[in-house]
Amino acid sequence: EVQLLESGGGFVRPGKSARLSCAASGFIFSSYAMTWVRQAPGKGLEWVSTVSGGGGNTYYADSVKGRFTISRDNSKNTLFLHMNSLSVEDTARYYCAQNWKIFKSWGQGVLVTVSS
């Protein structure tokens, strides 16, 4: 069974940084692209970033490009999202999802609140 467990969320001041992690199990992690999707409180879903299985290819939404960095450690079956220069507009629940294009498995998400 695929399991994805996010961590690292919390309260962050505007302009500061945060790092999210997603621990994966139940599948061959390195064989799958991985994706971050976020959802602002009471709002819809927004694709944030995807990284290829080997980590060499990364893709970002314009809203986070240049501020967020997606990466992965295949030896530890872990996905990361490094978030810099956070703004209140980045307040959301961040989900990691297996694969790209079709998101069959999701974590429970982690809440990031950016506020002064």
Binding mask 45-84 for another protein (x = CB under 8 A): xxx--x--------x-xx----------------------
- Alpha-carbon 101 to chain mean position: 15
Using only C-alpha atoms, what is the Rg of the chain?
13
Beta bridge partners of 83: 18, 68
Does 109 bind another protein (CB under 8 A)? Our answer is: yes
Tokens 């599948």 locate to: 27
Binding of another protein by 7 (CB under 8 A): no
Based on the shown chain and the rule CB under 8 A, indicate whether residue 101 belongs to the binding site for another protein.
yes
Is 27 a residue that touches another protein (CB under 8 A)? no
* C-beta atoms surrounding 24 within 10 Å: 23
Please name the residue that has the structure tokens 């690292």.
8
Interface residues toward another protein, by CB under 8 A: 37, 44-47, 50, 59, 61-62, 95, 100-104, 106-109
